[in-house]
């Protein structure tokens, strides 16, 4: 498989050790109507340090198979709701 990086939202954590489920969405154009349709795929991702939390936006990269269903590793966390909430709280406190 060629090198591939995908961006998705973490939808499930904590069920398996060092594993998170990341949902990656993409859009396709319907052949007849021409409308955009959202397609999504759930990908099991290896999270070595168990740092991913629910609703984080993560960048994942493919790798050699880690287990029967895991073929992606966590590259980095792009956005975390907890971090955004803390930043907003700090800005309100400064005013």
What's the pLDDT score for residue 26? 97
The domain defined by 5-94 folds into OB fold (Dihydrolipoamide Acetyltransferase, E2P) (2.40.50)
Would the pTM count as exceeding 0.85? no
What's the pLDDT score for residue 3? 85
What's the pLDDT score for residue 82? 77
Please state the domain extents for the chain: 5-94
- What is the spatial distance between Cα 81 and Cα 56, in angstroms, rounded to a whole number? 6
Low-confidence ranges of the chain (pLDDT < 70): 1, 84-95
Q: Is 58 exposed, middle or buried (0-12, 13-18, 19+ CB in 10 A)?
A: buried
């Amino acid at each position: 498989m060629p090198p591939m990086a995908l961006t998705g939202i973490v939808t499930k954590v904590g069920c398996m050790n060092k594993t998170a489920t990341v949902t990656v969405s993409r859009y396709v154009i319907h052949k007849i109507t021409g409308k955009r349709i959202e397609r999504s795929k759930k990908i099991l991702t290896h999270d070595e340090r168990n740092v991913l939390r629910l609703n984080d936006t993560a960048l994942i990269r493919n790798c050699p198979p880690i287990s029967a269903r895991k073929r992606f590793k966590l590259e980095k966390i792009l956005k975390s709701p907890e971090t955004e909430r803390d930043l907003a709280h700090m800005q309100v406190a400064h005013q």
